[in-house]
Amino acid sequence: MVVTLKDIAKVAGVSYATVSRALTDHPDVNFETRERIKKIAKEMNYVPNPSARGLKGKNTNMIGLIVPDISNPFFAELALGVESFANENDYCVFLCNTNWDYEREKTYLYILNSKRVDGIIISSVTEIADHHTNSSIPIVYVTEGPKHDNTYYVGIDNKMGAIIVAEYLIKLGHKKIAYIGGSEKTSTNKERFEGYKETMQKHNLSVNANIKTTNSFSQKSGYNAAMEMLIKEEIPTAVFAVNDIVALGIMQSIEEFGLNVPKDISVVGFDDISFSSMHGIKLTTISQPKFEMGRKCTDILIKLLKNQQVPERINIFQPKLVIRNTCTALKN
């Protein structure tokens, strides 16, 4: 049963108003009475209602976090970074998962506002999200969302990461390099494809015949796109996957088709999720500082909530190539 201020007042033998003032350290209540009421509240396991405090114009010390796929270890580690920095600054995190559904994303924004969270961190499902334009509370975008002068954003240099991958594969002697991407609604997919495309063109290598785009960033979508490519006998010597989850699906399809990674086809991912370093996978990939990105976007949000200066609105981390066992050099 939920303990209320009236329950505490009855036990303490004081008024509801006195309990309310005592628990907020109001000077109208003497020190001894305040401490006695706090002790009773603690013994009764009283938990303050943050929404009720918010209705009175006070902060709730709650932050909303909206991600598209919490089952992806990338977003799980990002969320840990958010939670870590939030807890250090006495904030709690309210987590919402949209499952790559923009309508659900908008619904969660409405719910979080009604819960009176102080601010929101969101990894949107689209680069054209405009939630910040009509929000009464601060919003910080992370990994996906608009990046311009009137938004706050934290992410990775997707294009540079893709350039690093393509240059690495070309250096190994690969010329038939396929790109298997994700949702075309995202800047993540567009920027990674752009980096791949520019590098291929720079080396006078074919691009158009080696593009496979999916509607999501799932293992299943990677599996299906790769299997379709293999069945059509459009077999590349290397595949660059938009992320590690998609790369795992690609590796599965290659093995089921009777080919070997990396002997027949090299595979590179993007994100460096925890699964990627596991024995039996050892995926070559681009590493993102996921935990640090989570902390950074939370730092920005809390600065906004405290009316402190934010040095940079757009914060871009640099990618790093992690070489493992899924790529091999082609023999001349």
Delimit the domains of the chain by residue range.
Answer: 5-48, 62-154+289-317, 158-288
Cβ–Cβ under 8 Å, residues 268 and 165 = yes
Choice between 66 and 26, residue whose per-residue pLDDT is larger:
66
pLDDT band, residue 211 (cuts 50/70/90): low
The percentage of the chain sitting over the pLDDT mark of 90, rounded to a whole number, equals 76
Mean pLDDT of 258-281: 96
Pick the CATH number of 158-288 from 3.90.1580.10, 3.30.2130.30, 3.30.470.20, 3.40.50.2300: 3.40.50.2300
DSSP state of 106: H
Q: At what angle do helices 219-231 and 244-256 cross, to 10 degrees?
A: 40
The secondary element (H helix, E strand) that includes residue 211 is: strand 211-212
**Is domain 62-154+289-317 given the CATH code 3.40.50.2300 in the classification?**
yes
Cβ neighbors of 132 (< 8 A, separation 6 or more) are 139, 141, 146, 150, 151
150 pLDDT above the threshold of 50: yes
Summary mean pLDDT of the chain: 91
Q: At what angle do helices 5-12 and 31-43 cross, to 10 degrees?
A: 120
Cβ neighbors of 9 (< 8 A, separation 6 or more) are 15, 16, 18, 19
2 pLDDT above the threshold of 90: no
Cβ–Cβ under 8 Å, residues 8 and 40 = yes
Mean pLDDT of 244-249: 96
pLDDT of residue 27: 83
Q: Closest Cα to residue 145, out of 183, 188, 111? A: 188
Choice between 88 and 42, residue whose per-residue pLDDT is larger:
88
Q: Which long-range contacts (CB under 8 A, 24 or more apart) does 141-144 make?
A: 141/297, 142/78, 142/293, 142/294, 142/297, 143/78, 143/188, 143/293, 144/68, 144/186, 144/187, 144/188
pLDDT of residue 56: 53
Give the phi and the psi of residue 66 in degrees, each rounded to 5.
-115, 120
Q: Which pLDDT tens digit goes with each residue over 180-202?
A: 998 888 999 999 999 999 999 99
209 pLDDT above the threshold of 50: no
pLDDT band, residue 172 (cuts 50/70/90): very high
pLDDT of residue 113: 83
pLDDT band, residue 51 (cuts 50/70/90): low
pLDDT of residue 231: 93
pLDDT band, residue 47 (cuts 50/70/90): confident
Helix spans in 178-316 (H):
187-202, 219-231, 244-256, 290-305
Residue 240 DSSP SS3: strand
pLDDT of residue 148: 87
Give the bridge partners for 266, in sequence order: 238
Choice between 149 and 279, residue whose per-residue pLDDT is larger:
279
Mean pLDDT of 217-228: 91
Best-predicted range by mean pLDDT among 28-32, 81-85, 203-207?
81-85
Choice between 209 and 32, residue whose per-residue pLDDT is larger:
32
Identical fold between 62-154+289-317 and 158-288: yes
pLDDT band, residue 46 (cuts 50/70/90): confident
Q: Closest Cα to residue 125, out of 83, 182, 49, 205? A: 182
